Structure 1
Amino acid sequence: MSLLVFILGIVIGSFLNVCIYRIPRGESVAYPPSHCYNCNKNLKWYDLFPIVSYIFLKGKCRYCKVKISIQYPIIELFTGIIYLLIYIHYGLTLNMFKYIILASFFIVIGIIDLKTTDIYDITILNPAVIGIIFLIYEYYIGLSISGNIIGILLMLFIIGGLILITKGMAIGDLEMYLLVPLYMGLKNSILVLLLSIIIGGIFGIVLILIKKKTRKDYIPFGPYITIATLIAMLYGENIINWYLNLII
């Protein structure tokens, strides 16, 4: 089962690469079929095996020999690993399916935001609708959803306030933060908020010190929210328990 989940992850990772490339360009993620973006040749089925095809083709298009970005196998492998870790942690449970869906969308959002400094509505609305469906189902089977609702209100208050007061974040960042409690509840949403600020602050300072950015430059926050969310999915309970033991 672990192998099947990993394979599912790298296959979905291949599709995430399509989304990362096409969504900022306003293209459909379903049509046209996969093709070389340099020579426009449609790719054969044997060119589409995640990771394996990249290695076999030595990172080049079969037809025009243009170099294929290393991003493609990295995203495929990373997604497979994330899927596997979520499965190992949660097993075949509702949380597993919720978290692999959120992780998939956040990988797309984080990479697109890193590349373009934009977060697109389609990458927010789709997981929002799916998350609401999960929430309704959880309520229907008798699970408490009060933490999710409180978390959403808390994020609206904190991040919405920061946007209004400091202009240091964008609406897209708020939308990402709202997805976290929708899927993960109150405690993990607070953890994601704190972790993303710490991680973003560290990376921001490093980028300024190495002169890649200045204090006036906009730094996309989506990647840091994504990293923090993945950490909370896998190790949130351990981190929260460690912190509580530390202060009690």
Structure 2
Amino acid sequence: MILSYILEKVIYRLDNCMDKNLTNKILIFLPNMIIPILIYTKYELSIQAISYMSLIPFLTMISIIDFRTTYVYDITILSGIIMQSVIFLLNKQLSEGSMSHIKGLFLGIILSYILAKATKSLGDGDIGFYGLCAFALGQEYSLYMIFLSFMLASIYGGYILFRKRKSIKSSIPFTPFISLATILIILTQKDIINLYFDILSRNL
């Protein structure tokens, strides 16, 4: 609750045009109340759970601001990376596996940069945000997170194209899909991708 209250203040400060109505309050408070409970249920009281829980406010804040303004502020991404670094350094078990997270950070940035240049669908803020999420998840899940975020964005893009009859060139804020992919991986790990390939193999 305290983190959600602080998060609300930060969001309204960064986006001073955002109305302080009930809908926006729900968008801010609900994910930061429900998702940490789901994380605790899966990981119990562990450093990994704390790492993931501390990531959720940044996912919420960056996604909401990007969705409303198409801006991704460097200070929010840098703050998230610093917080994750502190958590990794304070825990011996995670410190020993910190190379996986460092590799994840660079993997997330480099691959998203290549995709940004190739597809023209990502901005500089999206690249940094991929780096933050890949840093928190580690090298093992970085590629999966990028793949899943593009899959989710493609589904939404199809909906926009066929249901709302908007141009495929319409600008789509990408950080909400990166956040959703990250949260799904935190809660399900590789269950979704395993299910996807299982269904694919049965139909071949």
Query: Which deviates more, 197-206 or 228-237?
Result: 228-237
Which is greater in Rg? 1
1:83-162, aligned counterparts within 5 Å? 83-138=36-91, 143-162=96-115
1:49-64, aligned counterparts within 5 Å? none
Asked if the contact 2:31–2:60 (Cα under 8 Å) also holds between the matched residues in 1, the reply is no
1:1-248, aligned counterparts within 5 Å? 10-25=1-16, 68-138=21-91, 143-211=96-164, 213-239=166-192, 242=195
Change (3 A) 1:119 1:74: closer
Taking the aligned partners of 2:190 and 2:78, their CA distance within structure 1 comes to: 28
Asked if the contact 2:39–2:53 (Cα under 8 Å) also holds between the matched residues in 1, the reply is yes
Percentage identity across paired residues of the two chains: 30
2:155 is aligned with what amino acid? I
Task: Tell me the SS of whatever aligns to 2:96.
Answer: coil
1:15 is aligned with what amino acid? I
1:235 is aligned with what amino acid? T
Task: Tell me the SS of whatever aligns to 1:70.
Answer: helix
Please report how far the alpha carbon of residue 183 of structure 1 lies from its aligned counterpart in structure 2 after TM superposition.
1.3
Question: Per-residue displacement from partner, 1:53-83 (whole Å, max 9, x unpaired)?
Answer: xxxxxxxxxxxxxx83322134312311111
TM-score relative to the length of structure 1: 0.71
Taking the aligned partners of 1:188 and 1:175, their CA distance within structure 2 comes to: 17
Asked if the contact 1:135–1:182 (Cα under 8 Å) also holds between the matched residues in 2, the reply is no
Change (3 A) 1:185 1:73: same
Task: Tell me the SS of whatever aligns to 2:22.
Answer: coil
Taking the aligned partners of 2:91 and 2:194, their CA distance within structure 1 comes to: 25
Q: Size of the alignment, in residue pairs?
A: 200
1:190 is aligned with what amino acid? L
- Unaligned residue ranges in structure 1 (runs of 5+): 1-9, 27-36, 39-66
RMSD between aligned residues: 2.7
1:84 is aligned with what amino acid? I
Change (3 A) 1:156 1:122: closer
Asked if the contact 1:12–1:76 (Cα under 8 Å) also holds between the matched residues in 2, the reply is no
Asked if the contact 1:162–1:169 (Cα under 8 Å) also holds between the matched residues in 2, the reply is yes
- Unaligned residue ranges in structure 2 (runs of 5+): none
Task: Tell me the SS of whatever aligns to 1:194.
Answer: helix
Asked if the contact 2:88–2:95 (Cα under 8 Å) also holds between the matched residues in 1, the reply is no
Query: Which deviates more, 118-127 or 180-189?
Result: 180-189
Taking the aligned partners of 2:162 and 2:63, their CA distance within structure 1 comes to: 23
Query: Which deviates more, 179-188 or 102-111?
Result: 179-188
After the TM superposition, list the runs of 4 or more consecutive aligned residues in structure 1 that deviate by more than 4 angstroms.
138-142, 240-247
Please report how far the alpha carbon of residue 240 of structure 1 lies from its aligned counterpart in structure 2 after TM superposition.
5.3
Change (3 A) 1:147 1:214: same
Please report how far the alpha carbon of residue 195 of structure 1 lies from its aligned counterpart in structure 2 after TM superposition.
1.2
Taking the aligned partners of 1:245 and 1:207, their CA distance within structure 2 comes to: 29
Query: Which deviates more, 207-216 or 154-163?
Result: 207-216
1:23 is aligned with what amino acid? L
Please report how far the alpha carbon of residue 165 of structure 1 lies from its aligned counterpart in structure 2 after TM superposition.
3.1
